[in-house]
Amino acid sequence: MDNGEFEELFENYLPSDPLEFPEYKEKVKKLQKETGLNDAAICGIGKIDGKRVGIFLTDFSFLAGSMGSVVGEKFKLIVDKVCEEKIPLIAITSSGGGARMQEGIISLMQMVKTCESVLKLYENKIPYITVLCDPTMAGVMASFAALGDISLAEPGALLGFTGPRVIQQTIGEKLPEGFQKSEFQLKHGMIDQVIDRRNLRETLIKILRILC
């Protein structure tokens, strides 16, 4: 962000416990205290190269960046905001947990909600850039994280739905070397560029100058 300035939005949304899942409330409260976050998603508005952009990110330190009702709702809300302002959206993901099991079917519904929100971006011709960090897996990768107009990934990031060990055990075959790593995904056309975090700002500036 220019000058480190960032206006966080929708920060007061809190996760629910619809299934009364054992120890879920206690775990959430503990993580809220440790991380200072209310849930795994942060979103808001900032500037890059003087251009206003929407930012959405998932934080691995909060339940492995898993997607529950709050994460899905925040994504929808920031999409609504950028469509209203006609500014680009950048989503930065780090999630090893996918759809949050403690919220059951409610968390799975967020996959549909976030995909519908991306469709709104397409319909409004809003540039949508994804930055995939290590790891970006499961329900997050199978929904909004995989749908960017331009998809960037960090070197060596694990990107996929199910991990390689589970896949290998299921199909009973040895997987290719580097399977699901960002470099493998780039070679097979799943992402657009592998970029070191230190060069990310410069790369985003170039992309935004082209798209905006």
Per residue in 37-75, pLDDT tens?
Answer: 989 999 999 999 999 999 999 999 888 888 999 999 999
pTM higher than 0.75 for the full model?
yes
**pLDDT value, residue 169:** 73
Distance between CA 120 and CA 81 in Å, rounded? 11
**pLDDT value, residue 177:** 76
What tokens appear for 162 in the block?
A: 């199910």
Tokens 């950048």 belong to 90
What tokens appear for 145 in the block?
A: 């994280």
Residue in 9, 125, 19, 131 with CA at minimum distance from that of residue 76: 9
φ and ψ of 121, to 5 deg: -60, -45
How many CA atoms, within 13 angstroms, populate the side-chain half-sphere of residue 128? 25
Strands (E), the chain: 6-9, 41-48, 51-58, 89-95, 128-137, 150-153, 159-160, 193-194
**3-class DSSP assignment, residue 200:** helix
Distance between CA 145 and CA 91 in Å, rounded? 7
Q: Which residues contact 82 (CB under 8 A, 6 or more apart)?
A: 53, 54, 88, 89, 121, 126
Distance between CA 57 and CA 198 in Å, rounded? 17
Q: Which residues contact 76 (CB under 8 A, 6 or more apart)?
A: 113, 114, 117
- Per-residue confidence of the chain (212 residues) as pLDDT tens digits? 777 889 999 988 988 888 889 988 999 999 999 998 989 999 999 999 999 999 999 999 888 888 999 999 999 999 999 999 999 999 999 887 778 888 888 888 999 999 999 999 999 999 999 999 989 988 888 899 999 999 999 999 989 887 777 777 777 777 777 778 899 999 999 999 999 999 999 999 999 999 88
φ and ψ of 97, to 5 deg: -100, -15
**pLDDT value, residue 180:** 80
15-20 contacts, C-beta under 8 A, 24 or more apart: 15/39, 15/68, 15/69, 15/70, 15/103, 16/69, 16/103, 16/106, 17/102, 17/103, 18/103, 18/104, 18/106, 19/102, 19/103, 19/104
**pLDDT value, residue 31:** 92
CATH number for 2-211 (one of 3.90.226.10, 3.20.20.70, 3.40.50.1970, 3.40.640.10): it is 3.90.226.10
Distance between CA 44 and CA 65 in Å, rounded? 17
